[in-house]
């Protein structure tokens, strides 16, 4: 396995003057003398006896991390940051202390990197609790890019992770599987996108070695079995190829290409190949002076050997999204064995190996990328920008260059360390709606990093957010007030608006339901099914009928017409029959006297259920005598308006036998539904010696509508009883129908 050299003991050597680094002030980084030595001396007392979670000595880890950064082109200032990061947990006020000694920029870099280390540890601990660890890995990868406006944090974490894997490999200690998976699926792809191939290959091979040790050992064994034969033939081929290309007038260097076990396994699995069929096990790399020479060398190779055309790729004309450029071809030698040959310039090779060491000229390119590097999406374009900024890291001298790529997004944590992506400026309410719509509706408080905060507090990268919810309830209308700043996410705002729209619709439906049910009671049609009634009127559902009635867009007369076929007009002979006395008994039925007539059959109307001392009126019906209504009954007023000749005067009788008569009366009640509500209301009627002969109840979304039919001798006393009912907890109103 070809890897970066292991760091020597002690601080990394310094063979060049201290370069400039991204600075917040002129004295922060640029102009500091011996910053690397000073940083190590500052950190050594804190770290020399400390160990990391892996068991590695913290100071030794920082030394190795700094060496890795030096080899990929990181400045001495960045190497110095390796030591300051690990001192943060030993300082009570790390931002202030480090800023005083090294400047604000160093302090921010160290503190932000420390935060990211903590978040990654929490994310690995949470991985086992997630249904899809791949989603969590992708979020961690995004957070690595978006967490800090100082992009050097990403390089510090890559170098640290590589050293951690090296330590586990050297010490032969068992590695946590979550750390190996995160290294393979998060850190290695990130190094690949940054073009840091040396780190990418070593991260992949070490991670794969830990995750699939048996497969790793088997491929390594197969490579070793043919190593002597392969190296002998390849050495001869390399010398011949280099000599012949130089004879063509080219400045050329031909090298054997490293064999990386993980890439071999990926190719075998991806293309269902046997080990002997993997072409790049025998591979050469040709480095020439110019792009023109690349194509000239390719032409000569194809003339000298037999090319396999299906295995040719031109990554110079069509670079990879991460900026990788090279010509790849597979040819067969004189024995018919395949050989992969890569042809590139020295600049292309430098970028392929070290990424950030390749200094490309900046130009405005948008999604077209930089230095000819194309990007297939906005995300890839941002990665291309990131690579360029990292390449200039040592040359930048002002804070204007350290803006983060994902300024429109932030990443925060749930208490279980799951990562949640939010828009910049998002609040705890936005966070709650991202978790679940119901959590958002019932959000009443929030803790950020353990401290209670107002719900309109803007969240920051890496914070842990915990939401306090109510058992029931909904959002506040204040959340939609842009000036108050409760919501930033368009999705969350839409959910709040939908909740209030549904609330208005619910109230409209409830109002329409009450009007329709009152009508059915007046008509004595309470047995009819509401869905059937709506269907007969042409509505898809009862709620659709209630909604238009509640909006006053559908007249109740349409329902009356459906329920009541028109009554035939009485002929004169029918009126004569009414004047004939059917009984000699002067006792009026039901305690009602018909004025001017000796005795006549009467019945109390079911729509308004009159009772003494209500003002009443009579309406002559066909074949059923006189129907007695309350004077304020809307049904009675409508019938009187249509057929005034059928209205007759009636009054309550005072004759013997009716003094103790009782009359059924309907009482309507609306209340907030709760357990024991029906029992409490019934107890009020029982205490007041009011007999209940019927009850109808209905509850919709926390609101209860009740109709009690009670017997009273005097309706005037009913007012007192209704006052007591209205005092029951949860009752909003109680009145006679």
Predicted local confidence at residue 404, as pLDDT = 42
What is the share, in percent, of the chain residues with pLDDT greater than 90? 18
Structure tokens of 668? 């309507």
**Which phi and psi angles does 409 have, rounded to 5°?**
-130, 150
Q: Is 60 left (phi over 0), alpha (psi -120 to 50) or beta?
A: alpha
Predicted local confidence at residue 581, as pLDDT = 36
Predicted local confidence at residue 3, as pLDDT = 47
pTM: 0.48
Reduce the DSSP state of residue 452 to 3 states and report it: strand
| CB within 8 Å of 484: residues ≥ 6 apart | 456, 478
Question: Pick from 642, 649, 663: which is nearest to 718 by CA?
Answer: 663
Predicted local confidence at residue 273, as pLDDT = 63
Structure tokens of 733? 């109103």
Q: Report the alpha-carbon distance of residue 470 to residue 244 in Å, rounded.
A: 80
Cβ-contact 411, 142 below 8 angstroms: yes
Low-confidence ranges of the chain (pLDDT < 50): 1-3, 5-31, 148-149, 356-406, 568-589, 596, 655, 657
Q: What's 6-25 look like in SS3?
A: CCCCCCCCCCCCCCCCCCCC
Average pLDDT over the chain reads 76
Q: Count how many Cα atoms sit within 13 Å of the Cα of residue 168 in the half-sphere of its side chain.
A: 22
| CB within 8 Å of 327: residues ≥ 6 apart | 294, 295, 298, 313, 314, 315, 316, 342, 343, 344
Predicted local confidence at residue 123, as pLDDT = 66
Q: Report the alpha-carbon distance of residue 394 to residue 80 in Å, rounded.
A: 13
Q: How many CB atoms lie within 10 A of CB 231?
A: 11
pLDDT digits (tens, 9 = 90+) for 275-325: 665 555 678 899 999 999 999 999 989 988 899 888 899 999 988 766 789
Question: Pick from 151, 7, 118: which is nearest to 71 by CA?
Answer: 7
To the nearest 10°, the Cα dihedral for 483, 485, 491, 492? -120
Predicted local confidence at residue 56, as pLDDT = 94
Q: Count how many Cα atoms sit within 13 Å of the Cα of residue 394 in the half-sphere of its side chain.
A: 18
Per DSSP, helices labelled H in 53-187 are: 58-71, 76-87, 94-102, 104-127, 133-146, 152-171, 177-182
Domains of the chain, each with CATH number or no CATH:
1-196 (1.10.3210.10), 409-488 (3.10.20.30), 499-563 (no CATH), 572-652 (no CATH), 663-736 (3.30.70.260)
Residues of 107-116 as b/e, b for ≥16 C-beta within 10 angstroms?
bbbbbbbbbb
């Amino acid at each position: 396995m070809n890897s970066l050299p292991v760091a020597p003991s002690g601080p990394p050597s310094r063979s060049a003057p201290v370069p400039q680094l991204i600075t917040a002030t002129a004295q922060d980084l640029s102009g500091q003398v011996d910053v690397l030595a000073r940083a190590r001396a500052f950190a050594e007392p804190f770290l020399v006896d400390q160990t990391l979670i892996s068991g590695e000595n913290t100071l030794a880890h920082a030394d190795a991390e700094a060496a890795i950064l030096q080899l990929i082109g990181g400045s001495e200032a960045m190497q110095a940051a390796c030591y300051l990061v690990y001192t943060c947990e030993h300082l009570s006020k790390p931002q202030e202390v480090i800023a005083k000694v090294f400047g604000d920029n160093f302090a921010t870099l160290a503190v932000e990197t420390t935060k990211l280390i903590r978040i990654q540890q929490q994310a690995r601990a949470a991985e086992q609790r997630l249904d899809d660890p791949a989603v969590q890995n992708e979020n961690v990868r995004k957070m690595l890019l978006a967490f800090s406006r100082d992009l050097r944090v990403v390089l510090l974490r890559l170098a640290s992770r590589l050293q951690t894997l090296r330590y586990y490999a050297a010490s032969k200690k068992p590695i946590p599987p979550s750390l190996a998976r995160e290294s393979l699926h998060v850190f290695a792809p990130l190094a690949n996108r940054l073009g840091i191939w040396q780190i990418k290959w070593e991260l992949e091979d070490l991670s794969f070695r830990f995750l699939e040790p048996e497969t790793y050992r088997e491929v390594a064994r197969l490579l070793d079995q043919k190593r002597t034969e392969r190296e002998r033939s390849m050495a001869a081929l390399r010398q011949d190829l280099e000599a012949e290309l130089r004879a063509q007038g080219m400045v050329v260097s031909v090298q054997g290409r490293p064999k990386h076990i993980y890439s071999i396994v990926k190719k075998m699995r991806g293309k269902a190949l046997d080990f002997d069929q993997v072409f790049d096990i025998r591979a050469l790399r040709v480095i020439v002076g110019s792009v023109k020479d690349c194509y000239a060398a390719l032409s000569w190779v194809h003339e000298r050997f037999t090319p396999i055309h299906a295995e040719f790729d031109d990554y110079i004309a069509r670079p990879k999204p991460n900026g990788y450029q090279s010509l790849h071809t597979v040819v067969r030698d004189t024995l018919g064995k395949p050989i992969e040959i890569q042809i590139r310039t020295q600049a292309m090779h430098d970028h392929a190996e070290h990424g950030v060491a390749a200094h490309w000229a900046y130009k405005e390119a948008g999604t077209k990328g930089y230095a000819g590097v194309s990007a297939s999406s906005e995300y890839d374009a941002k990665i291309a920008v990131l690579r360029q900024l990292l390449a200039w890291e040592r040359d930048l001298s002002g804070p204007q260059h350290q803006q983060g790529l994902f300024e429109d997004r932030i990443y925060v944590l749930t208490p279980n360390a799951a990562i949640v992506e939010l828009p910049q400026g998002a609040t705890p309410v936005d966070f709650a709606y991202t978790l679940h719509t119901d959590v958002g509706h019932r959000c009443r408080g929030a803790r950020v990093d353990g401290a209670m905060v107002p719900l309109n507090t803007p969240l920051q990268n890496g914070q842990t957010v915990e939401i306090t919810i109510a058992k029931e309830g909904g959002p506040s209308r204040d959340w939609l007030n842009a000036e108050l700043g409760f919501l930033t996410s368009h999705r969350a705002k839409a959910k709040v608006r939908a909740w209030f729209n549904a609330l208005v619709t619910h109230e409209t439906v409830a109002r329409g339901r009450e009007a329709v049910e009152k009508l059915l009671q007046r008509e004595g049609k309470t047995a009819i099914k509401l869905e059937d009634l709506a269907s007969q009127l042409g509505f898809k559902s009862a709620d659709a009928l209630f909604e238009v009635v509640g909006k006053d867009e559908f007249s109740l007369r349409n329902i009356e017409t459906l329920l009541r076929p028109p009554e035939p007009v009485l002929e004169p002979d029918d009126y004569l029959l009414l004047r004939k006395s059917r009984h000699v008994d002067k006792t009026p039925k039901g305690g009602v006297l018909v004025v001017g007539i000796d005795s006549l059959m009467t019945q109390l109307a079911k729509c308004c259920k009159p009772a003494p001392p209500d003002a009443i009126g009579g309406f002559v019906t066909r074949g059923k005598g006189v129907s007695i209504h309350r004077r304020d009954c809307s049904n009675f007023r409508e019938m009187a308006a249509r057929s005034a000749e059928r209205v007759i005067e009636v009054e309550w009788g005072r004759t013997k036998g009716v003094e103790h008569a009782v009359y059924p009366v309907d009482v309507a009640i609306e209340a907030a539904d709760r357990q024991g509500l029906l029992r409490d209301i019934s107890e009020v009627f029982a205490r007041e010696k009011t007999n209940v002969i019927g009850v109808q109840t209905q509850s919709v979304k926390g609101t209860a509508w009740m109709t009690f039919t009670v017997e009273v001798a005097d309706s005037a006393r009913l007012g007192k009883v209704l006052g007591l009912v209205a005092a029951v907890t949860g009752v909003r109103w109680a009145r006679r129908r």
